[in-house]
Amino acid sequence: MAILGERWTFVVLREVFNGVRRFDDMRERTDIPRQVLTNRLAVLVEQGILHRVPYRPPGERTRHEYRLTEKGFDLYPVLVAVWQWGDRYLADPAGSPVEMAHKDCGAVVGAQLSCADGHSIGSPRDIVSRPGPGAIRRK
């Protein structure tokens, strides 16, 4: 979880989720310092969130693209929830500079909680914690 607490991680993941896969493109779009971006990408690869895929432009050396793994894709709801929170509490009063919309119908996308039976969860008071299948019983 510490990886998500690093300030540049969300920026890098946002770019990758938006289809930016190459180091130079990320640098150009974000102004992340070169060494910081290098370190962030290395950690995300090490943690199994991204994987490197080689490519070679004609006449140049081999480089790498950074693509999401299944573990990385599974972070998407977390990122949507954080962006949604930021839009609510940190955005300009005029509104968010960017909206996420469903590609097919155009409706705004947001994170909502529901139980396995499909019931909407409106409040933390609607949830109870209980031991899960991996819980260890104390003797």
CATH number at residue 55: 1.10.10.10
pLDDT on residue 69: 98
With a cut of 70, list the residues of the chain below it in pLDDT. 1
Structural domain contains residue 26: yes
Phi and psi torsions of 67, nearest 5°: -125, 150
Is 36 a domain residue?
yes
Q: How many angstroms separate the CA atoms of 20 and 69, rounded? A: 15
Give the pLDDT confidence score for residue 139 in this predicted structure. 75
Structural domain containing residue 53: 2-73
Specify the pTM.
0.81
State the total domains in the chain. Answer: 1
Cα separation of 79 and 94, whole Å? Answer: 22
Please indicate, yes or no, if residue 81 is contained in any of the structural domains. Answer: no
